[in-house]
Amino acid sequence: MTSALTTTLTAIINARVVPVIGETIANGTVLIENGRISAVGADLTVPIGAQVIDATGRWVLPGFIEAHGHVGIHEAANGWAGNDTNEMTGPNMTAVRAIDAINTDDEGFRDAISGGVSTIVVKPGSGNPIGGQSVAIKSSGGRTIDEQVISDSVSIKRARGENPKRIYGEKKQTPSTRLGVSLIIRQAVVDARNYVQARDAAAEKGDTFTRDLGQEALARVLSGELAWDQHVHQASPAVKEGLPAQTALEALTVNPAVILGLDSRVGSLTVGLDADVVIWSGDPLDLGSRAELVLIDGTPVYRHSDGFGQVVERADRASA
């Protein structure tokens, strides 16, 4: 595979192109212009002056979307000092935001990139029935977290079952059972509805009203502006147990993009979307395959060659 440099016009040729939306193209081309996908198809004319990447024998797909991640808030190497996953001082933490705790230098971002993950929806953890507000970010970006954000209006994380039950049970406080977890969530929804009614009534009368950050966030859930989500696990084992490969790929790309309101930016190889493109050595659902080249917004951020993978570091990107 030829070396790729950062350019405004790039052509990936001779690839097995899997756009996710639409049919697989056995010998396809993906054109990238100014960080966006400008064309996908067979027998496309490569523009003069384009940087050409020959992907013969490789698979080309959109970057994967990690729809439930803790990268940057549960850091890989900093122990308790880097663990800001859960604000476990109360079971309803709707008001907290994952974006406020993200360390963009967390080693987990490098791991994500090397695995072909270009978008991460970072969520508070599962220690609380209602954990807080998620943010969708690119796994590689500029000098600050703000330059990586796709959307800070994504979802509210909630959790049921053993995690909050265990944590609060050990504290001898509610919720120590699944009954209590359901109570916390149900009461939060009722309180948010009452809050919206009182807020709107005050606005109609011109009265002053004290805003509550948590209630405001839940009001956005009730209006459909934010998703109300929980997590599920991995695609590869599911395929081995009979899940169709196309369904698995959709679950890793376009489906979370649609559900979380990100599909105008990411999730498929579609003209106009961000050029988050991954060249794989083979079928990405085969554990023996690896990401060989990862582009985010059309810029190479990871290469694997001669048995060695290298992430383009933030400082190098900023100086380019």
**191-213 pLDDT per residue, tens:** 999 999 999 999 999 999 999 99
210 or 4, higher pLDDT: 210
Please, which pLDDT band fits residue 236 given cuts at 50, 70 and 90? Answer: low
pTM for this predicted structure: 0.90
pLDDT given at position 181:
93
What lies within 8 Å, CB to CB, of 86 at 6+ separation is 93, 124, 125, 126, 127, 128, 131
235 or 68, higher pLDDT: 68
Task: Report the DSSP beta bridge partners of residue 308.
Answer: 305
Please, which pLDDT band fits residue 1 given cuts at 50, 70 and 90? Answer: low
Distance CA 309, CA 27 (A): 26
Is residue 189's pLDDT more than 90?
Answer: yes
Please, which pLDDT band fits residue 7 given cuts at 50, 70 and 90? Answer: low
144 or 34, higher pLDDT: 34
Report the DSSP pairing between strands 9-17 and 59-62.
parallel
